[in-house]
Amino acid sequence: MKKPFCPLPWVMLATRNDGKVRLCAQSHSSPDKGVNRGDDGKIFTINQSTLAELKNSNFMKSVRKEFLQGRFPESCGRCAKEVQAGLRSRPDYESANWQNFIDLEKARQLTRSDGHIESPIRFLDLRLGNLCNLKCRTCNPTESSSWYADHVSVWGKSFKGFQGQKLRLHKEGSIWQVQGDSFCWGENEKIAPALKEALETVELIHFSGGEPLLLKSHYKILEFLKDIGRSGEVRLEYITNLTVLPEKALQLWQDFLDVRIGISIDGVGAVNDYVRYPSRWNQIESHMAILDRWQRPESIWYALTLHAYNIFYLPELIEWRIHSPFLNINNREPDPLFSVHPLHNPSFLNIQMLPSQVKSKVSQRLQSYLAKGSRDGRFDQTPYPYITTAAVEALVSGYIDFMNQQDQSSFFTKFIDYTDSLDKVRKQSMAEALPEFSQCLRQGSSFLDSRL
């Protein structure tokens, strides 16, 4: 088996929504949350740290040494699980993205025996705050400010921060805010010195949120790069809910070397409207149509997260995909259908928490869809040259295997309680929005006879 290697500890600086620095987004699933700490145990914040100490903290040096010794570091447990399940993990595609700059052998050459490096930051993963206009069911108040009011209605004024610390909400006028709001770190008048130094050498910036296209600080960074004459050297990458597509963004993007856009999706039609509340699928499709005419085909893709609410409807999503009129979106060889990730946390939304009888019914539905598509050849008859029967089978079979890899059904009761609570406060109904899945749950769990 190939030894694990990820280039990110050599090229990237990543922040959370609260300005704290971490290894990468995937590492947040680990027990230590993948945070970059000083020797005193304090988590580094980008506004109060130098770039030198962020790059070469003992934490970062230790991560590099682990990879050079052919092991996944403890913070990389999520990717290790995905590799074990046979899924395409982040180290796979990041190795492809950065192969011209670094691989395992080059990493050995660039790294001192203690893990120290002198090479510049080439990749920034910036979460500039949690301002967002959606309150997706798979999200929470740390990632979306729109979640605040619903959280207060259901669970009260306190919620857990990234490290499990208690954060408290209070009302300013008619708006709920976090006391001592660290989620506004990106709105400082001046760009933090460490970030400004990294912008002098960066080649790729990833923005996600919150919703990055709503964040003023995001536009401030683009304008700074334009002012220092670097915009033509920098590629931009976004994960956006695509409910907004400001003209200001379209204009600024013209000055940059490349713009890559990942469109977050969970399902089509009613599935989208239920999970990604209060978005409307037809509005998102209208913005897809604009991007389909605007950009190069390899630069826009569908970013799909699979979780308990949408795994049952994966066939419907694939059907939409293979018949989609947006021929310039996700028309690429790697990940030809979607760029897919399984939701790991919270555990009560992970597909592994479904009861065994429900998993069996979901598996049968997905396998039946594969068999029918293979027989009638629909997967090989699309306008997308990279979508094939083999590609669809690899995607669907991989997630059937992942779903059945572990039994986390102890979280199922919490899934139902969570769903009921949100349905009441949002005046929604899973039974109405997702009737087939609701029926599957009733048939697969006697616990639900009176709940759905």
Give the helix, strand, coil percentages of the chain, each rounded to 5: 50, 15, 40
Going by pLDDT thresholds of 50, 70 and 90, the confidence category of residue 298 is low
Q: What is the DSSP letter of 348?
A: G
Which residues are paired to 14 by β-bridges?
Answer: 22, 125
Mean pLDDT of all residues in 151-163: 91
Supply the pLDDT for residue 295.
67
Helix (H, G, I), strand (E, B) or coil at 342: strand
Count Cβ atoms within 10 A of the Cβ of residue 355 and give its class: 0-12 exposed, 13-18 middle, 19 or more buried.
middle
Instruction: Read off the pLDDT of residues 35-69 as tens digits, 9 standing for 90 and up.
Output: 999 999 999 999 999 999 999 999 999 999 999 99
Q: What is the Cα Rg of the chain in Å?
A: 22
Mean pLDDT of all residues in 293-321: 92
Q: Which two tokens stand for residue 314?
A: 């994966």
Using the predicted structure, report yes or no on whether residue 297 has a pLDDT greater than 70: no
Instruction: Read off the pLDDT of residues 355-396 as tens digits, 9 standing for 90 and up.
Output: 999 999 999 999 999 999 999 999 999 999 999 999 999 999
Which residues are paired to 234 by β-bridges?
Answer: none
Using the predicted structure, report yes or no on whether residue 447 has a pLDDT greater than 70: no
The angle, 0 to 180 degrees and rounded to 10, between the axes of the packed helices 90-97 and 77-84 is 100
Contact between 383 and 328 (Cβ < 8 Å): no
Count Cβ atoms within 10 A of the Cβ of residue 304 and give its class: 0-12 exposed, 13-18 middle, 19 or more buried.
buried
Mean pLDDT of all residues in 60-80: 94
Cα–Cα nearest to 83, from 378, 398, 436, 348: 398
Contact between 10 and 125 (Cβ < 8 Å): no
Supply the pLDDT for residue 187.
82
Instruction: Read off the pLDDT of residues 212-269 as tens digits, 9 standing for 90 and up.
Output: 999 999 999 999 999 999 999 999 999 999 999 999 999 999 999 999 999 999 999 9
Residues 262, 263, 264, CA angle at the centre, nearest 5°?
110
Supply the pLDDT for residue 329.
94
Using the predicted structure, report yes or no on whether residue 452 has a pLDDT greater than 60: no
Helix (H, G, I), strand (E, B) or coil at 67: helix
